[in-house]
Chains A and B, each alone.
Chain A
Amino acid sequence: MFRDAWLIAGKDLKIEMRARVGINQIVPFAVTVLVLFAFALDTDQEALRTYAPGLFWVTVLLASLLAIGRSFAVDLADGASDRLLLSGIDPIAVFGGKAAAIAIQLVVLEVLLASGVVLLFDVTVHRYGLMVCAGLAAAAGVATAGTLYGALVSGLGVRETLLPMLLLPVVAPVLVGATRAFQDAFGVAGAEGWAWLGLLAGFAAIYGVFGALSYGALLEEA
């Protein structure tokens, strides 16, 4: 099972490394969103510093929609999704593999964006440990929920519009939790960052279990 999950994750990551859609399109998109926030807040350095955690996570969520859509588009392009069904790989392993690949891409994106936030928004990090843990847990949560919903809408003609509509309300708690954790890590507001980390981890665990259990049923298209 873990071997199969790793096989799927490795395949997805290798394709991403080759195609460079993430680096060439998703990362520039995310950076553009950050720049737009700076314009929207009228170059108010103080406001940017205060709201940096929230802006950072909104950006990550928006970019994650692209990464999730891309992960399923690759399988749909020339019938590989049918082949995956025919391969006999346990759907739980497919879910785990795809979620892991998306999570790893999100972590890379977070690292790049975090440096962007530090540079552009003049933020100083006070608690690195908390920041790293929250970043990992939030990526896991978004990736598990995203893989679940990505599979649900995959193959539907309206998937590009449906995915944001379904996924964003669901990952709203991640936004709340990760923002509070980062506020604590950046020292811009008093928040119990470690407690919020618990929420993020719980979210990832719940959606991990839920996704693994329902993935097989969702892949069955007929």
Chain B
Amino acid sequence: MSTVVAATTSSKATRVLGWLTLAGFALLVALAFAWVPEDTRITEQGDVVGQFDAVRLMFVHVPSAILAYTGFGLTFLASLAYLRWRTDWWDMMAHASAEIGVVFGVLTLVTGSIWGRPTWQTWWEWGDVRLVTALVMVLVFVGYLAVRRIPADTAVRARRSVVIALVGAVNIVIVNRSVDWWENRTLHQQSTLTARKIRDETLFTLSFSFAVGMALFAWLLLHRFRLAYLESQIEQLEVDEAMEERRAEAGLPDDSEEQA
């Protein structure tokens, strides 16, 4: 019954993935700093405008934002799947992806803020729908993780978590809509990619950063999920052990007929 599984979260596949991600990241840094030119445009009046060196932050900021949404989206889907199938597998998946989502969410907010200072001349803009939505989303999932950290019966914890994840998802939509109504303006450029205002080098590096980000996400998710799985195994071992002790306790007094 108490089979001890591998005491590590890595495997050959994740090690390969990990090295690939690391190499990809090194290449991304090289591309972002050495290859991509700074962002400048000359207006009709002859002024030089653009994001200059700050554009290089985009290669961290944009993939982070996408990964944060991927993480939260995965949490939402895994929570729905838990409702349907009620297996620990989906619960652990929801947990793992929420944690990664929060990490990338915070990274998105921080890099966005650093980038906003030189580009928009402000660290933060309350009227911006995307900023406020991202902030509330991160806060909701920080709360989600806080609830998960409270020791509880696995099924109870899973039920609570599902409710928070689903309410959180609905909440994100409501916040997004209400902030949109509230100010109805955004500083974010709407369509950098479609408007073809972007240089080829920048476009390539940006696409490459998505690929590296996805690899990093997969690597983190695999490890986090396996960690959760190992934790549940330990929990099960502890329960088994406690059960044996408990049964020994029952067998101790007077009659020794019942040795469980």
List the interface of chain A (C-beta within 8 A of B). 148, 152-153, 156, 158, 162, 165-166, 169-170, 172-173, 176-177, 180, 195-196, 199, 202-203, 206-207, 210, 214, 217-218, 220-222
Residues on A with C-beta less than 8 A from B171 are 169-170, 173
Asked if B159 is at the interface of the complex by the 8 Å CB criterion, the answer is yes
Q: How far is the CB of B3 from chain A (nearest CB, A)?
A: 27
Residues on A with C-beta less than 8 A from B218 are none
How far, in whole Å, are A222 and B153 apart by their CA atoms in the complex? 7
Closest to B176 in A: A173
Residues on B with C-beta less than 8 A from A220 are 156, 159
Q: How far is the CB of A142 from chain B (nearest CB, A)?
A: 14
Q: How far is the CB of B146 from chain A (nearest CB, A)?
A: 6
Residues on A with C-beta less than 8 A from B163 are 148, 152, 214, 217-218
Q: 27 interchain pairs (CB within 8 A)?
A: A148-B163, A148-B167, A152-B147, A152-B163, A152-B164, A162-B143, A162-B146, A162-B147, A166-B143, A166-B146, A169-B140, A170-B167, A170-B168, A173-B174, A173-B177, A176-B179, A176-B182, A177-B178, A203-B174, A206-B170, A207-B167, A217-B159, A217-B163, A218-B159, A218-B160, A220-B156, A221-B156
Closest to A145 in B: B167
Asked if B103 is at the interface of the complex by the 8 Å CB criterion, the answer is no
Residues on A with C-beta less than 8 A from B159 are 217-218, 220
Tell whether, in the assembled complex, residue A156 and residue B146 are in contact, meaning their CB atoms are under 8 Å apart: no
Residues on A with C-beta less than 8 A from B36 are none
Residues on A with C-beta less than 8 A from B140 are 169-170
Residues on B with C-beta less than 8 A from A214 are 163, 166
How far, in whole Å, are A94 and B175 apart by their CA atoms in the complex? 28
Residues on B with C-beta less than 8 A from A177 are 178
How far, in whole Å, are A169 and B166 apart by their CA atoms in the complex? 14
Residues on A with C-beta less than 8 A from B143 are 162, 165-166, 169
Tell whether, in the assembled complex, residue B156 and residue A173 are in contact, meaning their CB atoms are under 8 Å apart: no
Closest to B171 in A: A170
Q: Give 8 new A-B contacts, CB below 8 A, not counting A206-B174, A210-B170.
A: A165-B142, A172-B136, A172-B175, A173-B174, A176-B178, A176-B182, A210-B166, A217-B159
Residues on A with C-beta less than 8 A from B168 are 170
Asked if B17 is at the interface of the complex by the 8 Å CB criterion, the answer is no
Number of residues of chain B lying within 8 A (CB) of chain A: 26
Residues on B with C-beta less than 8 A from A206 are 170, 174
How far, in whole Å, are A198 and B115 apart by their CA atoms in the complex? 36
Asked if B150 is at the interface of the complex by the 8 Å CB criterion, the answer is yes
Residues in B169-224 with C-beta less than 8 Å from chain A = 170-171, 174-175, 177-179, 181-182
Residues on B with C-beta less than 8 A from A196 are 181
Asked if B114 is at the interface of the complex by the 8 Å CB criterion, the answer is no
Asked if B139 is at the interface of the complex by the 8 Å CB criterion, the answer is yes
Residues on A with C-beta less than 8 A from B177 are 173, 199
Closest to A173 in B: B178
How far, in whole Å, are A218 and B146 apart by their CA atoms in the complex? 17
Closest to B170 in A: A206
How far, in whole Å, are A180 and B153 apart by their CA atoms in the complex? 43
Tell whether, in the assembled complex, residue A199 and residue B181 are in contact, meaning their CB atoms are under 8 Å apart: yes
Residues on B with C-beta less than 8 A from A207 are 167
Of B150, B160, B174, B182, the contact of A180 (CB 8 Å cutoff):
B182
How far, in whole Å, are A202 and B164 apart by their CA atoms in the complex? 19
Residues on A with C-beta less than 8 A from B153 are 222
Closest to B138 in A: A169
Residues on B with C-beta less than 8 A from A195 are 181
Residues on B with C-beta less than 8 A from A165 are 142-143, 146
Tell whether, in the assembled complex, residue A199 and residue B170 are in contact, meaning their CB atoms are under 8 Å apart: no
Closest to A168 in B: B139
